[in-house]
A and B are shown apart, each in its own frame.
Chain A
Amino acid sequence: MNSLLIENGRLVDPSVQHDAVARLLIDDGYVVAIDPLDGDLPPSIPRLNAAGKIVAPGLVDLCSELREPGRDEDETIASGALAALAGGYTSILCSSNTHPPIDSPGAVEFVRQKAAQARGPRIHVTGCVSKQRQGQEMAELGLLVDAGAVAFSDSPAPLANSALLRRALEYCRMFDRPIFDRPEVPELAGRGVMHEGCHSLVLGLAGLPTEAEDLAVARDVRLAEATGGRLHVGPVSTMGSVDLISRVKSRGIQVTASVCPHNLGLTDEKLRSFDARYKVHPPLRSGRHVETLRQAVADGTIDVIQTGHMPRAREKKMDDLDLAPFGMTSLETCLAASATALVRSGVLDWLTLIDRMSTAAAKVAGIKGGRLQVGDPADVVIIDPDFAWTVSESSFRSRCSSTPLLGCELYGRITETIVGGEVRFQSI
Chain B
Amino acid sequence: MAASSASEFVFPTAWKRRHLLDLETLTAEEITILLDTAQQMKDATGNCRRKLSLLSGKTCANLFFENSTRTRNSFSLAAKRLGADTVEFSSAGSSVAKGETFVDTAKTIEAMGVDWVVTRHATPGTPHLLARELACSVMNAGDGPHEHPTQGLLDMLTIRQHRQSFEGLTVALVGDIAHSRTARSNLWGLSKLGAHVIVCGPSTLVSPRWEELGFEVAHSLDDILPRCDVLNLLRVQFERQVTRPFPSIHEYAALYAMNGERMSRSKKDILIMAPGPINRGVEITPEVADGPHSVILEQVTNGIAVRMAALWLLSNASDNATSPTS
Chain A positions within 8 Å of B, measured between CB atoms, are: 190-191, 197-198, 201-205, 273-274, 318-323
Contact = CB atoms under 8 A, between A and B. Distances in A.
Contact of A205 (B124, B212, B213): B124
Interface of A is mostly: loop
Interface string B1-41: 00000000000000000000000100000000000000000
A321 B103 contact: no
B101 A318 contact: yes
Contact of A204 (B101, B102, B103, B181): B181
Nearest to B125: A274
A204 B210 CA distance: 12
Contact of B213 (A202, A203, A204): A202
B184 A320 contact: no
Interface string B141-152: 001111100000
Nearest to B184: A204
11 contacts: A197-B209, A198-B212, A201-B210, A204-B143, A204-B145, A204-B147, A205-B146, A320-B125, A320-B126, A320-B129, A323-B123
A144 B103 CA distance: 44
Contacts of B181: 204
A204 B128 CA distance: 14
Interface string B203-219: 00001011011000000
Given A204-B144, A205-B146, A320-B121, 6 more contacts: A198-B212, A201-B210, A202-B24, A203-B124, A321-B124, A323-B123
Contacts of A197: 209
A203 B24 CA distance: 10
Nearest to B102: A320
A274 B24 CA distance: 14
Which has the most chain B C-beta neighbours within 10 Å: A201, A205, A322?
A201
B125 A203 contact: yes
Top 5 A-B pairs ranked by shortest CB distance?
A274-B125, A204-B145, A204-B146, A320-B123, A322-B123
A205 B242 CA distance: 13
Contact of B207 (A201, A321, A323): A201
Nearest to A319: B101
Report, as a range, how many residues of chain B touch the other chain: 20 to 34
Contacts of B195: none
Nearest to A207: B207
A198 B215 CA distance: 12
Contacts of A190: 242
B122 interface: yes
Could you say which of A191, A274, A323 has the most chain B C-beta atoms within 10 Å of its C-beta?
A: A274
A198 B125 contact: no
A169 to B, nearest CB: 31
A268 to B, nearest CB: 13
A202 B185 CA distance: 10
Interface string B179-206: 1010010000000000000000000000
Interface in B264-312: none
Interface in B71-120: 101-103
Contacts of A321: 123-125
Nearest to B179: A204
Interface in B130-170: 143-147
A191 B242 contact: yes
A272 B23 CA distance: 14
Contacts of A198: 209, 212-213
B145 A274 contact: no
Contacts of B101: 318-319
Contacts of A203: 124-125, 146
A101 to B, nearest CB: 25
Contacts of A201: 207, 209-210, 213
Contacts of B129: 274, 320
A270 to B, nearest CB: 13
A284 B24 CA distance: 22
A224 B56 CA distance: 71
A63 B103 CA distance: 33
A204 B207 contact: no
A30 to B, nearest CB: 52
Nearest to A197: B209
Contacts of B121: 320
A322 B66 CA distance: 14
Contacts of B242: 190-191
Contacts of A319: 101, 103
A204 B126 CA distance: 12
A319 B146 CA distance: 17
Contacts of A318: 101, 103
Nearest to B143: A204
A205 B24 contact: no
Nearest to A322: B123
A318 B126 CA distance: 11
